[in-house]
Structure 1
């Protein structure tokens, strides 16, 4: 089997970066996209050291021309696009009345349109090839909303809806192109340090929290075994079940029992540094600041979704076999 060519947006940190490292260990050719050039160049060196091949393309996914150029660069440099992984995201924490129209617009552009543009750019190339796969990293909040993250929640709902419409169109025409959407639980990534906060303090993920590797392993599983939707982490599955079984009372239960507003606030004063309008700086990182509270495995994901992580009781190590 020839090596896979994978485009990853949001590759500078978090799930995107960890996905790149796992794929590098399997000899993949990667096209890495984000706004932070320093982080991308450092990741390229890591990918090379691990045995993969990497090309860097500084990209703002909120701009269609840049995403289209990313697809063109991938084909020019690597010859094809086997898989396109949408990971780029940003976040704003605060009540709706505290957000400006500019902030809401920018968040929707990055989180929703960034993935929509990625799907469209990939689709054009894959239709020419006659095959390919798209993997979207959405969120469990695409199913069940929470307060203080209105723009993020709205955008992730949109990603899920757009992806499902595209998947149905491809199925209708008998296309071999696949679309998979992951719905992760709270993940310990630098997203929270890079988020814009209106709360006066830095935000934090709602527990239970999982390490980025849990989602990255799910991305590899979706590349090899495409599926329309996959919840990653038992916490996300609980949210999905509450919404499905008792949608009218889900929000009330979250606010009363989960105290989700309080759980999204740290006791650390906000540093007023975020990546909403300008890129993050520095070398980039996979993990965020909540490693001590984060789970390195998900029993639900490895057992129920049968993801071969090699680290869980239900998932013995199995070679990665991407479909072509």
Structure 2
């Protein structure tokens, strides 16, 4: 584990729940936060990956638990949060990270894919809030970190529905911040193009080829994890509202 106090300050000892933790940004956040002293609870559908990740974190001196989680199920999300409370006694941070991105033009009518994005990208975040908010209220504080995208600010061809879901996450985050009146911190993290498995869900041939070209210059998942860590590490009373993280070099 990293024992550098400069890195662990504000993170060490916090109980952090992460959805979509089996790969990409979720995995990167789990490794970084555990290294800096957080107790991480990992959720995703692929439990074999979660088990491997949790074991690797434990082998380096970190604290990690995991549970199978489909964020589209409100019941599974409730159980995920309840298990974290049972094991650690509280919930300090929920990172609503799980997401899918099967891009296509609207005329392709990939309605099942649209519904999947709505279920995972929007309902998944709402389920995380619904499960975590009563716990955070009862303990007198907490922090939601909702992972959106630069698609929460701009729309591109083939990404209409995906961007709509991320606009929704942005709106939900702002509404939650206003409703909780600063008792609970809310951070929206919007990554630019990032190395992940999101593009693997693109079934449309043309959209897949365009995304491959777009991703020639991409951020590492650790870069987004650092942004998440930055927001979590802020002192009490400081709420980082929004972080947009893009590659430093433009796409050629």
TM-score normalised by L of structure 2:
0.87
Classify 1:166/1:183 alpha carbon distance in 2 versus 1 (closer, same or farther; 3 Å): same
Answer whether contact 1:186 1:205 (CA < 8 A) is retained. Answer: no
Structure 1: 5+ residue stretches without partners:
239-257, 264-324
Partner of 1:26: 36
Partner of 2:54: 44
Q: How many corresponding residue pairs?
A: 235
Structure 2: 5+ residue stretches without partners:
1-9
Q: 1:89 aligns with which of 90, 99, 103?
A: 99
Q: 2:245 aligns with which of 232, 235, 241?
A: 232
| Alignment root-mean-square deviation, CA | 2.1
1:204 aligns with 2:212: yes
Partner of 1:215: 224
Q: 1:60 aligns with which of 70, 74, 86?
A: 70
Describe how 1:1-324 pairs up with structure 2 within 5 A. Answer: 3-171=13-181, 175-192=182-199, 194-199=200-205, 201=208, 203-204=211-212, 206=214, 208-225=217-234, 226-233=239-246
Partner of 1:254: none
State the shift of 1:120 in Å.
Answer: 2.1
Provide the secondary structure at the position in 2 that maps to 1:80.
coil
Answer whether contact 2:152 2:163 (CA < 8 A) is retained. Answer: yes
Answer whether contact 1:87 1:136 (CA < 8 A) is retained. Answer: yes
Equivalent-residue separation in structure 1 for 2:39 and 2:204 (angstroms): 40
Answer whether contact 1:188 1:205 (CA < 8 A) is retained. Answer: no
Answer whether contact 1:24 1:48 (CA < 8 A) is retained. Answer: no
Q: Which has the larger radius of gyration?
A: 1
State the shift of 1:54 in Å.
Answer: 1.1
Provide the secondary structure at the position in 2 that maps to 1:88.
coil
CA deviation map 1:62-121 (0-9, x unaligned) = 111111111111101111101111110111121112133222111110011111211221
